[in-house]
Structure 1
Amino acid sequence: MEGRNQTDALQFFLARLTDDPAVLPLTFSFFLCIYLVTVLGNLLIIMVVSLDHHLHTPMYFFLSNLSFVDICLSSTTIPKLLVNMQTWDQTISYTGCLTQVCFILEFASLENCLLAVMSYDRYVAICHPLRYTVIMNPSLCVWLIILCLVISLENSLLLGLMLLRLSFCTNMESPLIYCELAQVIKLACSDTLINNILIYLSTFIFGGVPISGIIFSYVKIVFSVMRISSLKGRYKAFSTCVSHLAVLSLFYGTALGVYISSALTISTRSTAVASLMYTVVPQMMNPFIYSLRNGDIMEALRKHVGQLSEVLREGKL
C-alpha cells in the first residue's frame, strides 16, 4: 500500500456523462448554457438589489447573498465538468478533489443557513410587523450573515480536513461527476469510522438545526396568518412567503430526489447526473422564482432596463 506521502501524485477518476463523442458537443453546450444562465441570472439579482434603494431591505439583502452563494456553489462543479468534457480527461488531482469537497460543503452549508435566516426574516415580518424594522436592523442582518459564514466554514473545515487522515492505495474511480465527501471516503483504504461518525454528527447539527428553524418559523407564520380575519389579509400576508417557499421546496426537494434516486437506481451514470442536479437546478431557478413571483424586483428590472435603453439611445444620438 502506498504511504500518505504519495497522495500528492494520486489522481481520482470522475464519472463521464457520455461515452459517445457525437453527443459530447450537445452535452457540453447544455451545461455551458445552464452555467451562464445561473451566473447571469444571479448577478442580475445582485445588481438590481444593489442599485435600487427601494430594495435595500433585510429580505433583499439576504436574497442578494443567496444569489452570490448560488454562483459560488455552481462554480465548484460545472467549470471542472466543462473542462473535463472539452479535454476528454476525467481525472482530478488529490489536492483538487479535496478542495472541491471543501468548497461544496462550504457553499451548500451556507445556502442551508441562509434559507433558515430568510425564514426567520419572514417570521418577523408576518408575526411582528410593527417591530420588524427594529428587530431586523442592519446590524443584526450583517451578524446573521457572519454567523452563517462561520458555521458553514467550521462544517467544511471539520469534514474536509478530516479527509487528510485517510490513505488511498491507488488511483480510484468515483461514480460521481465531481468529488463528493461520502464517495471520497468510500474510496479510502484506511479506517473511515471517525469520518462517517462526523458526517452523521455534522448532518444532525449543521443540517438539522437550520431545518428545525425553518419549520419553527413557518409553523408560527401559519398560526399567525390563520388569526387574520379577512381572506384578503391572509393572502397578502402569506404571498410574501411564496417565493421563499418555492426556493425551499426546490432546494430540499432536489436533495431528497437525489437521495432517493441514488438509493433506487443501479445505473452509475444516472446517479452521477442526479447528484449534479443538486448543485445546478436550484441555483439556476432561484433568480427566476424571485423575479417572476416578486413585483418589486420586476419593477426594479423594468426601471433599470428602461434607464439603460435611454442612455444607449442618447449615446447613439
Structure 2
Amino acid sequence: MEETYHIPVLLEETIEGLQIKPDGIYVDCTFGGGGHSRAILQQLGPNGKLVAFDQDEDAKRNLPDDDRVIFVPHNFRHIQRFLRLHQLNAVDGIMADLGVSSHQFDEAARGFSTRFDGDLDMRMDQRQAVTAFTVVDTYTEAQLHKLFEQYGEVTNSKTLARKIVAVRGQVSLKTIDAFKNALREVVKGNPNKYFAQVFQALRIEVNDELGALKEMLQQLPKLLKPGGRIAIITFHSLEDRLVKNFFRRGTFEEPETTNPFINDEQVNELKVITKKPVIPSDTEQKRNSRSRSSKLRVAEKVMMV
C-alpha cells in the first residue's frame, strides 16, 4: 500500500541516523504511507513502541496491524501533549518527513497539484476550515504579496497579488483551472514551475507548515532521552534553514556578529550528527523524482552536565 500511497524518501539513511534500540520508544511525526514506520518496526523488538502522528484522515488506512503502534490523528505540533496523554514522557528517537505525500499530490480532489482540476483546497487536515480558496479570496494584497514572496519565492509576487485582488471580484477562483486561467497573463517563465511555486506558497500558508515545524522542534529536546536522536527530512530551503539553525543553536535566529560585551549564548541540548545534510543517491533520485529536493539532518540529545 505505502509504495503507491507514498514512496519513503531517504529511508535507509533515516533509519541509520536514528540508531534504533530494539526496546526503544520512537515517534514518526508524519506517518503518511507508513514506509518509515514499517522500517522502524522491523528494528524494534516485542517491547519496543512506535507512536505515529498524521493529521490526514487518509493515512489511517495504511496502519499496520501491530499492537506496538499508537496512532495519533493530529498535527505533530501537539507532540508533547499527546505523548503525555499516552504516559510517554521521554522517547529514544523522533523522525519527520516534511514532504507532501504522493497520495496527496495524486488525489485531484485534494487540490495540492497543478496537474488536475479540482477545488483549490490543499488542507492536510480536512477538519480545518481554511482552504487555499479562502486565502486567495479573502487575504489583502499585502498579505498575498508577502506569502508568495516568502513561501514560494515567486519572482513577480507583487504583480501576482495585485492581479488576484483585481480578478477575484469578477471571476470565481474556487477551482484550480479557474485560478490558473485567471492568472495566465502574469505567469513568468515556465508555467508549470511558476504555478508549482505559487501552490507551494498557498499550501504552506493553509497548513501553517512553518509554524507547526517551529512548535514541534521547540518541544523535541525535552521529549528526548539523553542519547536519543532526531531525524528530519525537509524539501525546501525555508524548512531546512529552521531545522539547521535549531539543531546547531537551539534557536531559529540566524547567528549575528558577536558582541564581546554581550553573553547571549543559547543553551543547546542538541549535538549535530550530520555536519552537512544527507541527500538522496543518484539511484534514488532516478527512481523517485520527488526525492530530488530532500535533505536529511540528524541531531542527538546530549547529556547536560
Query: Shared fold (TM-score greater than 0.5)?
Result: no
Could you say which structure has the higher helix fraction?
Answer: 1
Q: TM-score, normalised by structure 2?
A: 0.26
Q: TM-score, normalised by structure 1?
A: 0.25
The structure that has the greater radius of gyration is 1
Task: Name the structure, 1 or 2, with higher relative contact order (CA <8 Å, separation 6+).
Answer: 1
Could you say which structure has the higher strand fraction?
Answer: 2
